[in-house]
Amino acid sequence: MKCFLISDNVDTQIGMRLAGIDGVVVHKHDEVIEALDKAAADDSLAVIFITKILTDLCRDEISERKLTLRKPLIVEIPDRHGDSHISETLSRYVSDAVGMKI
């Protein structure tokens, strides 16, 4: 399983690179979409990690791709500057998946 990172932060990219995950650093809406489309076209990729700031920047486009692409899986991750309320995030994901508040 091969992974790829789309980040707004060089430090996040370096950390993921140390774990063996390649990636790019982008800052503008068009750059994010271009990087996402290029990564999605790579059949060897199973997972695309994208930082929360970039996900917020392109929420509609990323949501559309999450719903329509069979592969790769697109996963939002917090960066080192973001607030990581992981329990709230997981609860929201589960609620969205099952269709009811837990």
pLDDT of residue 33: 95
Q: Tell me phi and psi for residue 88, to 5 degrees.
A: -65, -40
Question: Across the chain, where does the E strand assignment appear?
Answer: 2-7, 22-25, 45-51, 73-77
| Structural domain range at position 89 | 2-98
Look up the pTM and report it: 0.78
**CATH of residue 62:** 3.40.50.10580
Give the tokens for residue 49. 């990690």
Query: Which tens digit of pLDDT belongs to each residue from 51-80?
Result: 999 999 999 999 999 889 889 999 998 866
Per-residue tokens: 15 = 């950390």
* Tally of structural domains, the chain: 1
Q: What is the torsional sign of CA 19, 87, 69, 63?
A: negative
